[in-house]
Amino acid sequence: MKYCILMGSPRKNGNTSKLLKPFIEELKLYQVQYDLIWLYDKHIEPCIACRNCQKDWTIFGCRYSDDVQEIFDKIYDCDVIILATPIYSWYCTPPMKSLLDRFVYGMNKYYGDEKGPSLWSGKKLAIITTCGYKPEKGADLFEEGIKRYCKHSQLKYSGMLAERDFGYKSVFMDNEKDKHSRAFAQYLYSSSLL
């Protein structure tokens, strides 16, 4: 079982990173293999709808030679994708959104003259997010969008861990959040054994 964690926070020591830490510690306990990719460290161009990726159904096929091919290879090779992101304007941060756009075309060969396959069909996808509003008002639209994205892409949506940030003057991490993060890792790990 291989995990690929796409980290969309610009803050290396921010809230999302703090919430992710116990999750990763749990994965290590289960000796799960994982890649952690900091998206703000990568060169990720936005999709320009050229549809070059629709010509050959066996490869990513994007015309850009930025860092997305390397991320594609890691995703292609993994079983579980984790989207870890703070909520910005009710959705994920810009590099994650660009990546989602690049993959909705590059992975799903649906947009050429004939409809082709989804290259990531059957992989699991889960969300780890932090937001300023209550999760049901802060992370709900992102979750809904990702559920739709998964259905469209033939990915198996596996749930969301969302925790609230009460502002820059308060301490974000506490025992409860630590417990939730570990429990989420346990839940994903045990459901991937089924």
Ligand X SMILES: Cc1cc2nc3c(=O)[nH]c(=O)nc-3n(C[C@H](O)[C@H](O)[C@H](O)COP(=O)(O)O)c2cc1C
Note the residues at the interface with ligand X (CB under 6 A). Answer: 9, 11, 14-17, 86-90, 130-133, 138, 165
Q: Which is nearer to ligand X, 106 or 135 (CB)?
A: 135
Q: Which is nearer to ligand X, 16 or 54 (CB)?
A: 16
Q: Would you state the structure tokens that stand for residue 129, as one six-digit string?
A: 């997010």
Least distance between ligand X and beta carbon 174 (Å):
14
Least distance between ligand X and beta carbon 8 (Å):
8
Task: Return the residue nearest ligand X (CB atom).
Answer: 14
Least distance between ligand X and beta carbon 1 (Å):
26
Question: Nearest CA to 126 among 106, 108, 150?
Answer: 150
Q: Which is nearer to ligand X, 131 or 155 (CB)?
A: 131
What is the identity of the amino acid at 104?
V
Q: Which is nearer to ligand X, 109 or 143 (CB)?
A: 143
Q: Which is nearer to ligand X, 91 or 189 (CB)?
A: 91
Do 120 and 75 form a contact (C-beta atoms < 8 A)? yes
Least distance between ligand X and beta carbon 130 (Å):
3
Least distance between ligand X and beta carbon 139 (Å):
7
